[in-house]
A = this chain, B = another copy of it.
Amino acid sequence: MELLLGIDGGGTGCRAALADRTGRIIGRGRSGAANIMTDIDGARANILAATRQALADAGLDERATSSISAVLGLAGANVNNNGARLEKLLPFARATVKSDAAIALHGAIGEGDGTVVILGTGSVFITREKDRIRTIGGWGFKVSDLGGGARLGRDLLEEALLAYDGVHPSSPLAEKAMALFDNNPDQIVTFARDARPRDFGTYAPLIFEYADKGDGLALMLIERSVKTIEEALDAIMPPGQERLCLIGGLGPLYAPRLSPKYRSRLQLPMGDALSGAVRLAVGLFAHVEANHG
């Protein structure tokens, strides 16, 4: 039996989907971090753990591992030859490691030209034009990712403090943010000292909620953020290109706030990154089998 496997792995976890040669999902698995930049052996172990779960979920024996053809989408695949190194360490019949961006793009738009923006804790822009994939942004919270939730949440706390100090006018959102920290700026300082990007990001949905009520600060923060997103789209999306997808947790929140130029090209994503990995596996491997069968 020919088995196809899609893997979507990153710093927070690893998901596996096992499929037949038509791409129909027959089993799923999940495990811990698969960070090939910092821990390639740990990544391999978690990829195999998620794969074992997916095999069990499909009612298959672990020995089927050697007949799997896999596409793995992993952050850092293009850095330092990490992807090629991992391919050699895997016990599958065939394995191709792609970037996390490549499977997200394929999941959202499938074949053909189009642009995808991942708007989660961070922000990454991916475009495919005549089979060439290009990525910008995504350099991390500290010095990039201007449209991400971490940046939005951090900006909210900064504005809450500026309102507290009387430097900027206050607003219901600024007051709400201060109230979440007992109206004590020291509590914001303490939170910020140890906060990870995703911790800042927890405050992003609140901004969209208040923007819907017309809060001035919320609208300013989102307008500023949308401007950074559209500047990046101006740089990466070819003028004639028709398809644009916003994915990630904040994608649906940003979508109605884009300017008409980009809103008119928006379409809903076909599927998630994991489904993109599976469909890439169908395209890469089931096709070859068909030729040979």
Count of this chain's copies in the oligomeric assembly? 2
Inside 8 A of A166's CB, which chain B residues have their CB?
Answer: 136, 235-236
Q: Does A157 contact B (CB under 8 A)?
A: yes
Inside 8 A of A79's CB, which chain B residues have their CB?
Answer: 186
Contact, CB under 8 Å: B139 / A161: yes
Contact, CB under 8 Å: A157 / B143: yes
The contact sample of 22 A-B pairs, CB cut-off 8 A, is A79-B186, A136-B166, A137-B167, A139-B185, A139-B188, A140-B189, A140-B192, A140-B193, A142-B192, A143-B154, A143-B157, A143-B161, A143-B189, A143-B192, A144-B161, A144-B189, A146-B158, A165-B232, A165-B235, A166-B235, A167-B232, A168-B231
* Chain A interface residues toward B at CB < 8 A: 79, 136-137, 139-140, 142-144, 146, 154, 157-158, 161, 165-168, 185-186, 188-189, 192-193, 195, 231-232, 234-236
Instruction: Name A143's contact: one of B140, B144, B188, B231 (CB within 8 Å).
Output: B188
Inside 8 A of A193's CB, which chain B residues have their CB?
Answer: 140, 142
A159 and B200 CA atoms in complex are apart in Å by 22
